């Protein structure tokens, strides 16, 4: 992303502490909402340059943000990021703010207020997220060649498991245990649905229902970080994606294995 720096900001410079706070706030919003680490670093450096602090440095990992300024006080600040989710609207708004600040369309005094508004943006409505989960499972089942009954069962499972996952999130259950439990529930509901005659193909139903939990974004961001030379962050994201995939595999495999032991088949 190429940004033309506003020449009026050169030489003036915002106060070091305020500039670092503003930059770390922008970095926190981006990192906690699904941005790649190299993109966060690039945005933070450009923001500090726009605020009159050229030569600043930023270092970002999947759980922390570091920023320093080349001034007489050798200013440096660190921000810990504990939770991560995906909210692409926030990323787009931070990028837009960064461009406006660099080009002089937004004053530095206004940037902090706008960032706080972006940070406080509410998540998508629960009803919309639940419906989207069901539609996602329905669509994938159709793509994988499932019958309309399989698609219906996948739709119902997608809604039920999303509601269950929301409860686990509110109780702060770890990601690995949450994914494992949800995967096991998907298999159990698929087996029950097939037994009740709602669906026909168990494999297509289960595969479609676990797609919302597939770590596609984490895997993609990990690869992009590694390509950009951020091996620590890229390796962390790849490990996170593999752990998610392992949790899903264990959850699905355990229930199917128990079904085979108890009934002698699937």
> Is the domain of 92 the same as that of 220?
no
When pLDDT is cut at 50, 70 and 90, the band that residue 135 belongs to is very high
| 130 shares a domain with 106 | no
- On average, the pLDDT of the chain sits at 88
Residue 73: pLDDT over 80: no
pTM assigned to the model: 0.79
Residue 102, pLDDT above cutoff 90: no
In a domain, 245, yes or no: yes
The pLDDT of residue 171 is above 80: yes
Shared domain check, 96 and 203: no
Coil, helix or strand for 53? coil
**Interatomic CA distance for residues 69 and 201, integer angstroms:** 60
Q: Are residues 101 and 135 in the same domain?
A: no
Question: What integer pLDDT is reported at residue 15 of this predicted model?
Answer: 82
Assess whether 150 and 253 both reside in one domain.
yes
pLDDT at 74: 62
Q: Report whether pLDDT(4) > 60.
A: no
Residues 104 and 148 grouped into a single domain: no
DSSP state of 32: T
Query: Are both 90 and 136 inside the same structural domain?
Result: no
Here the tokens at position 130 are 């639940």
First to last CA, the chain: 52
| Same-domain check for residues 104 and 143 | no
Ranges assigned E (strand) in 110-153: none
Where among 84, 119, 154 does a domain terminate?
A: 119
* 213: containing domain: 126-263
Please check whether residue 1 lies inside any domain of the structure: no
Please indicate, yes or no, whether residues 114 and 132 belong to a single structural domain of this protein.
Answer: no
Whether residue 61 sits in one domain with residue 143: no
pLDDT by residue (tens digit) across 20-71? 999 999 999 999 998 889 899 999 998 988 888 888 889 998 889 999 887 6
Number of domains in the chain: 2
% residues pLDDT > 90 (the chain): 52
Helix (H) or strand (E) holding 187: helix 175-195
10-21 pLDDT, tens digit per residue, is 445 678 888 899
The answer to the question of residue 2 being in a domain is: no
Tell me, what's the pLDDT at 179?
Answer: 94
């Amino acid at each position: 992303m190429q940004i033309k720096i506003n020449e009026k900001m050169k030489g003036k410079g915002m106060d070091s502490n305020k500039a670092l706070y503003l930059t770390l706030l922008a970095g926190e919003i981006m990192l906690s909402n699904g941005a790649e680490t190299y993109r966060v670093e690039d945005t933070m450096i450009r923001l500090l340059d726009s605020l009159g602090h050229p030569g600043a440095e930023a270092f970002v990992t999947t759980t922390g943000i570091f920023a320093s300024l080349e001034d007489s006080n050798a200013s440096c600040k660190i921000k810990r990021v504990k939770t991560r989710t995906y909210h692409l609207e926030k990323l787009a708004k931070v990028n837009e703010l960064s461009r406006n600040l660099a080009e002089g369309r937004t004053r530095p005094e206004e940037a902090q207020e706008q960032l706080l508004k972006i940070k406080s943006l509410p998540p998508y409505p629960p009803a919309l997220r639940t419906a989207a989960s069901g539609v996602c499972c329905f669509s994938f089942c159709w793509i994988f060649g499932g019958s309309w009954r399989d698609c219906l069962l996948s739709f119902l499972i997608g809604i039920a498991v999303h509601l269950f996952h929301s409860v686990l999130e509110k109780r702060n259950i770890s990601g690995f245990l949450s994914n494992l439990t949800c995967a096991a529930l998907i298999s159990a509901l698929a087996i029950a649905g097939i037994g009740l005659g709602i669906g026909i193909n168990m494999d297509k139903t289960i595969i479609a229902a676990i797609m919302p939990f597939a770590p596609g974004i984490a895997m993609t961001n990990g690869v992009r970080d590694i390509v950009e030379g951020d091996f620590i962050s890229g390796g962390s994201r790849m490990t996170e994606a593999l752990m998610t995939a392992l949790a899903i595999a264990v959850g699905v495999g355990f229930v199917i294995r128990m079904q085979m032991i108890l009934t002698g088949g699937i």
